[in-house]
Amino acid sequence: MAASIEEKTLLTVYSQNIFMFDPHHSAYLVHKDEQIYTPDPCLVSSEDLAKDGTPAPIFPPVSILRVTTDCLPRDTLHGFTFGSNADQCDILLDNDHRRGISNRQFSIKPDLSTPGIFHFQNHSQHATKILIGDTAQVVKSTRCIPGDTQIHVLLGHFDLQIRVPSHKSHWPAFLENWAAFVTKDKSLPPDLQHLGLGSMLRTSRAPSKTGSCHRGPKIGHGASGNVYRESSRDTGLVYAVKYYHPGRPDEEIHEEARLLGGLSHKHIVHFIELLAKPRALVLEYVGVTLEEENIHSATFTITTLSIETSSLPAFSCYLVILSTSNLVASTLR
């Protein structure tokens, strides 16, 4: 195993359960992890060796889940989450909460202010049982997890072990990787469910809701980007996708996504998701049954409205409502 991987490792997960090989977290899976061993300078006596007729064992390396500083959690507020809900969890322990694993069972959150320190957070109403060293605990809230710690999470059939390395042998290199991780984590917007907006904002940290799409004709343009009609290759659903021009500030894009995510009205298109690569805003597409020439030739009337939402008391926005008898669309700025 390359030393550079060790220098980037945040935590590793070990288990005999088949959940380890679930495609949901395949990005973390390491087949046949080659452990680095410290050599023993002492030798067994030749007499003892001569008496031992046991063939040399062949123990295949185990498969593990390795979370590194190159990874980002789906939920930046809670960190890397374990449970049975694929939409909410980074590590999927099971796909059915009726077998005892909560939608979100627990999470391991990096302490961004202290390199190498993590917080074990319980999210289950039934608590989570863990074993650290010789101490068994029923965790209903949070436990601090320093480096060089092994946590045995007691979940019956779904038991697992989480190891947080110490990084003593390569601390300067780890600090550099940790700093890069913190910078990336802080640059991404938090999941909007924690802001009380009830929105479906997602970035590249989670699988796209829309999946792979086929790009159709351009249906709009503006100072910040161009809008295309796209259809999902998987479902056939049609979306309006706004691709931002290069150089557009990330803060402006995130603000627009937050704003759209907090609005709900029958005459305002629904926000679907925010994509990070490429930078694009996915919206509901209205007027699917209209022919393209009808859209381009339609005469629009423009009304400017000032709306202050209850979900965002500190912000107000202007919506430009473009309307015809068959089409109502909205866009920011």
| Beta strand ranges found along the chain (DSSP E) | 9-14, 29-30, 64-68, 80-83, 91-92, 106-110, 118-122, 128-132, 135-139, 142-145, 149-154, 160-164, 213-221, 225-232, 238-244, 271-275, 280-284, 301-307, 317-323, 328-332
Distance CA 53, CA 326 (A): 86
Nearest to 34 by CA among 65, 9, 80, 1: 1
Backbone angles phi, psi at 249, to 5 degrees: -60, 135
Check pLDDT > 60 for residue 194. no
Check pLDDT > 80 for residue 11. yes
**Collapsed DSSP state (helix, strand, coil) of residue 37:** coil
Q: How far is CA 199 from CA 30, 52, 241, in A?
A: 34, 66, 17
Distance CA 80, CA 66 (A): 12
pLDDT at 305: 39
Identify whether the C-beta of residue 92 lies closer than 8 Å to the C-beta of residue 84: yes
pLDDT tens-digit map of 140-174:
998 989 899 999 999 988 899 999 999 999 999 99
The domains found in the chain, sorted by start residue, are 5-35+59-187 (2.60.200.20), 213-290 (3.30.200.20)
Let me know the angle formed at the C-alpha of 103 by 135 and 78, rounded to the nearest 5 degrees: 65
pLDDT tens-digit map of 253-289:
888 887 777 676 666 677 788 887 788 888 888 764 3
CA torsion angle for 207, 107, 78, 33 (degrees, to 10)?
-60
pLDDT tens-digit map of 59-103:
666 789 999 999 999 888 889 999 999 989 999 999 888 888 999
Q: What is the greatest pairwise CA distance in the chain?
A: 97
Distance CA 183, CA 180 (A): 5
* 166's tokens: 């110490």
Nearest to 283 by CA among 252, 259, 302: 259
Backbone angles phi, psi at 227, to 5 degrees: -115, 130
Our separate counts of H helices and E strands in the chain read 5, 20
Confidence of residue 311 (pLDDT cuts 50, 70, 90): very low
Question: How many residues are there in the chain?
Answer: 333
